[in-house]
Amino acid sequence: DAGITQSPRHKVTETGTPVTLRCHQTENHRYMYWYRQDPGHGLRLIHYSYGVKDTDKGEVSDGYSVSRSKTEDFLLTLESATSSQTSVYFCAINAEGRDIGYTFGSGTRLTVV
């Protein structure tokens, strides 16, 4: 969808290395989210942000950190990548909370070898 971009689209990295995924939006939305999608698990929330420098943990936050230094960018960092973090990562944005519904990015496919 226009207005939200994830980079990179694909990445292969080695176990133990740090990895940063970027989500960029041009919609000036307050809320931004990181989810991971795995077969049989659906989408699980990693972290979310409700404003610049305001973030909170989701269901599966261990091993991940986030930063939001400006409205348009939300970064997800895998501090030391493990094979269990091989997944498809989706960013989503939302203007004013849960009743609007999200707009999703196209995803980043991360493989940890």
Partner 1 sequence: AQSVTQPDIHITVSEGASLELRCNYSYGATPYLFWYVQSPGQGLQLLLKYFSGDTLVQGIKGFEAEFKRSQSSFNLRKPSVHWSDAAEYFCAVGAGYALNFGKGTSLLVTP
Give the interface with partner 1 as residue ranges (CB under 8 A): 1, 31, 33, 35, 40-45, 48, 50, 56, 58, 90, 92, 97-99, 101-107
How far is 12 from 31, CA to CA, in rounded Å? 28
**Smallest separation (angstroms) from partner 1 to the CB of 30:** 9
Nearer to partner 1, 22 or 80 (CB): 22
Nearer to partner 1, 53 or 98 (CB): 98
Nearer to partner 1, 62 or 99 (CB): 99
**Smallest separation (angstroms) from partner 1 to the CB of 75:** 18
**Smallest separation (angstroms) from partner 1 to the CB of 40:** 6
Q: How many CB atoms lie within 10 A of CB 107?
A: 17
Q: Residue 111 belongs to what H/E stretch?
A: strand 108-112
Q: 88: Cβ–Cβ under 8 A, 6 or more apart, which residues?
A: 36, 37, 38, 107, 108, 109, 110
Q: Are strands 108-112 and 10-13 parallel, antiparallel or unpaired?
A: parallel
